Amino acid sequence: MKRRRFLKQTASVAGISFVGCGLGAVTGCSEEAHGARRQVSIGGKRIQTVDIHCHSYVHDVWPLIEEHGDLSYLVSVTDNPILRKKIDINNVDFRLQQMDEQGIDVQALSLHVGQYHYWADPDLAAKIVAIQNEKIAETCAAHPERFVGLGAVALQHPELAVKQMKYAIDELDMRGFMITGSVNDEELSDPKFHPFWAAAEELGTVIFIHPRNFPAGQSRLNGNGRLDNVIGNPLETTVALSHLIYEGTLDKFPGVKICAAHGGGYLASYIGRSDHCVEHAAMFCKAVGKLPSEYLRQLYFDSLLYTTENLRHLIATVGADRVVIGTDFPFAMGTADSIDHVLSVDGLSTAEQAAILGETAAELLGIS
């Protein structure tokens, strides 16, 4: 992997910040102000913990996008005067403080999901993604022991996305890429995206699927309860993964490394219904290469479920070696106790605990 000029960056990197609900008024903390760093040991052995689900906001692209499309998803970030004052490198120091307190050694930095501007034409999309990925790379190079990058791609233009992916890996040391659960109402299983999946498989890079609500059902998710997030986000992931299974994408690209946010939505918790359809209602569920439940062993899932029983069931269904930590920093729907959450699951061996807390993610992300 090459880092080139990015390794020369200092800790002061302009243009990127960590933002989210409830954190806009928090000032940055210097290294001297940090509390004791929590170190996690399993079976008497110090382990490296890795969080694959962490967001950031690159505000340098705003001049390129402010006059284009519906940007309401970013209003809370860009139009809030308190947040605007806090969008600076001090948020990186604050994040390091939070990581130390939570016992997170390494985080994989991805964008705020509202920064995936799939409406952009190829020229504009190239400029947007170039800025976003360079800023992520600069931050990771400034803190190489704490951060690795999950870059962006303009997936609405698959051929461009492939070029962006190759460049980001070769030149920016990017360790994976985050995409949303659908692209302009098109499923990720659509043949137009096959070049992207083929390249991801060939490059051996991890693809982190993160939903941006459930656009197809938005009219029913309004009102109290923040249903677009609480129900819509996991539903979007469930639908995306189901199409990848049923449309044969995972058969065509069996080596692709996909990690799904929020525990993969509802898929693992109700996968038996999918199996039943294939086995007993074949007129509706065309047979695929194997039972839908068997494809779960080709996927990875973050641990962002909110009860011990839900996490226990996910692990029991997909295997401990397919689950990694996800905190969803810095949003209110994230968790600050992801390590204790994993350790609360009874019956895990020390090897399984170590795999979930960091070893599997480190292998996926190329972290030594």
How far is CA 353 from each of CA 9, 13, 49, 197, 350, rounded to the nearest angstrom?
35, 35, 11, 30, 5
Residue range 4-29+38-365, CATH number: 3.20.20.140
What pLDDT score does 241 carry? Answer: 98
Task: Label the pairing between strands 186-187 and 182-183.
Answer: antiparallel
Count of CA atoms in the C-beta half-sphere (13 A) of 264: 28
| Percent of residues, the chain, with pLDDT higher than 70 | 86
Report the 10 Å Cβ neighbour count for 29: 18
How far is CA 311 from each of CA 46, 291, 316, 335, rounded to the nearest angstrom?
23, 22, 9, 13
Residues in Cβ contact with 178 at an 8 Å cutoff, skipping those fewer than 6 apart: 110, 111, 113, 150, 151, 152, 207, 208, 209, 210
301-326, pLDDT tens digit by residue? Answer: 999 999 999 999 999 999 999 999 99
- What mean pLDDT, rounded, does the chain reach? 87
Check: pTM over 0.75? Answer yes or no.
yes
Exposed/middle/buried for residue 62 (C-beta within 10 Å: 0-12, 13-18, 19+) = middle
Q: How far apart are CA 47 and CA 54, in angstroms?
A: 20
pLDDT band at 360 (very low <50, low <70, confident <90, very high): very high
Residue entry with tokens 């999918």: 274
What pLDDT score does 8 carry? Answer: 31
> Domains of the chain: which residue ranges?
4-29+38-365
215-228, pLDDT tens digit by residue? Answer: 889 899 999 999 99
Taking residues 330-357, report their average pLDDT. Answer: 94
Residue 57 has pLDDT above 50, yes or no: yes
